[in-house]
A and B are shown apart, each in its own frame.
Chain A
Amino acid sequence: MKVGVLALQGAFGLHEQVLNRIGVAAVQVRTPEELAEVDCLVIPGGESTAISKLLDANGLGDPLADRLTDGLPVLGTCAGMILLAAEVVDGYPGQHRFGAIDATVRRNGYGRQSESFHAPIHIEGWESAFPGVFIRAPVVESVGRDVEVLAELDGVPVLCRQGSTVVSSFHPELAQDDRIHRWFVERDWSTGHHRFVERE
């Protein structure tokens, strides 16, 4: 399986490092040709306005929308979540909303940098907490009925899945913990079968 990391702007290098650490050779995606070759995609944290504009500049907007419609497994963290959401509050006009997850998110909903934080995240069915790092993070305000909420913080969803789309408000790429990346790449997205074990 070929894992791509959208490498237009943001923490794509950190996602690559985590993937390499768990033995997955990730490739950077900047062009439609590179996108066409991957079996799943990570959309990193960064500035969603900048990434959205760069998607257009590099001719990736329509090809990415098509692949998402076809069920491309995708992990979107922070800015990635904003781009994948169906509705964005306080977004930038004209910003891409791919609608791969039926959620309404408020951009910078957790506040400015002074309110950026980390906190332990308890993920459904996992034994130990995941270190969640929230940087000017988006708040999930509501989710549709087809969305599975995998983790909440103070009653607010922070990790969600719908079909083969997985989104987080926080940055697993900033944590010294590879479980979310392993969970994402060790699932057979066509059958839903999981090879993932929390502890290795």
Chain B
Amino acid sequence: MAAESMSGRETGTTLVKRGLAEMLKGGVIMDVVTPDQAKVAEDAGAVAVMALERVPADIRRDGGVARMSDPEMITGIQQAVTIPVMAKARIGHFVEAQILEALDVDYIDESEVLTPADEAHHIDKWAFTVPFVCGATNLGEALRRISEGACMIRSKGEAGTGNIVEAVRHLRSIIGDIRKITQADSAELFDWAKQLRAPLPLVREVAETGWLPVPMFCAGGISTPADAGLVMQLGAEAVFVGSGIFKSSDPAPRAKAIVEAATNYRDPHILAKVSRGLGEPMPGLEIDGLETHLADRGW
């Protein structure tokens, strides 16, 4: 909610919410479960950390209901680092979001990695001062989340698998449809809005600008510098790495390598250099063998 105070200062506006997402571009946001991991992430050059109790690979393995993290753990991570701290709320769980806002996190991820709290509605994100990021598998989903107030979109991929194939599918779907919309005539845009189940003004904005009205980052399955380079070359503007760092054999050098890959994503020589000798990546999972497809959560 926007508020006004001294010298005409306005907080919580769309401009400042989307503004932080702009500042994270070209960077890497890392999942961390302890203050020590948060320090490793910051030391490696992460632009932000996502504070959570279990990385997606462990959530997937453990099963059961995955919820917002313990506030004590989030506060501990906020005290450990100087970079922005994000945290996850369940889809539709606006009270978890209220709690995260009270904790003064810098971004809330309304995330399919946690067990959804509402099977029809997402959080009304306009009601908050803190900005939200939401996942999307296609353009319609992205625009619905933006219409609800999301200030950053991340393509979902399939979290906790170490498998990039779903991230690529989702990025290609979103960006491919953006390209088609820019070629559509004004009459066709009505049909696009209907097909995408998205508000017409947002569809028109995409048609005019050739991009989403908010930054689009990529998540779900990134575990190597090459993966980061791949999704950045496909059009992602920054990357989230969940299990890929702290489920690998040697997290610190891998984290640093992925940071350098996100910056130098068009330079195969640098990508080759930073990919050397990083040890074992996280063990990957085949998508066909999964019991739960996290990306299917969200409406």
Contact = CB atoms under 8 A, between A and B. Distances in A.
Interface stretch (B9-17, B56-64, B220-228): B9-17
A120 B8 contact: yes
B20 interface: yes
B148 interface: no
Interface string B154-175: 0000000000000000000000
A9 interface: yes
A136 B23 CA distance: 10
Contact of A8 (B15, B26, B48, B131): B26
13 contacts: A9-B25, A9-B26, A10-B22, A10-B26, A30-B263, A46-B23, A47-B47, A50-B46, A57-B45, A58-B263, A114-B130, A120-B7, A133-B15
Given A50-B47, A53-B259, A54-B260, A11 B106 contact: no
Contacts of A76: none
Interface string A6-37: 01111111100000000000000010000000
Contact of B45 (A53, A134, A154): A53
B20 A54 contact: no
A12 B26 contact: yes
A135 interface: yes
Given A12-B25, A114-B104, 13 more contacts: A8-B263, A9-B263, A10-B25, A53-B259, A54-B259, A92-B42, A108-B82, A112-B84, A113-B106, A114-B129, A116-B11, A118-B9, A118-B10
B264 A9 contact: no
Contacts of B131: 113
B104 A112 contact: yes
A45 B82 CA distance: 15
Interface of B: 5-13, 15-16, 19-20, 22-27, 42, 44-48, 82-84, 101, 104-107, 129-131, 256, 259-260, 262-264, 267
Contacts of B45: 49-50, 53-54, 57
B263 A47 contact: no
Nearest to B3: A117
Nearest to A116: B16
Given A54-B45, A57-B260, A117-B9, A174 B22 contact: yes
Highest count of chain A CB atoms <10 Å: which of B45, B84, B262: B45
B8 A119 contact: yes
B7 A154 contact: yes
Contact of A171 (B13, B19, B46, B83): B19
A97 B191 CA distance: 54
B19 A135 contact: yes
B264 A133 contact: no
A11 B25 contact: yes
Contacts of B11: 114-117
Interface in A139-183: 153-154, 171, 173-174
A98 B10 CA distance: 32
A90 B23 contact: no
B82 A78 contact: no
A113 B130 contact: yes
Nearest to A14: B22
A79 interface: yes
A10 B23 contact: yes
B247 to A, nearest CB: 22
Interface in A72-101: 78-79, 90-92
A117 B24 contact: no
Interface in A30-66: 30, 45-47, 49-50, 53-54, 57-58
A139 to B, nearest CB: 14
B276 to A, nearest CB: 14
A46 B47 contact: yes
Contacts of A79: 23
A39 B83 CA distance: 32
B55 to A, nearest CB: 21
B24 A47 contact: yes
Q: Which 8 A-B pairs have the closest CB atoms?
A: A53-B45, A113-B106, A116-B16, A9-B26, A117-B9, A47-B47, A119-B9, A50-B45
A60 B267 CA distance: 16
Contacts of A153: 7
Contacts of A45: 22-23
Contacts of B83: 47, 49-50
Contacts of A173: 22
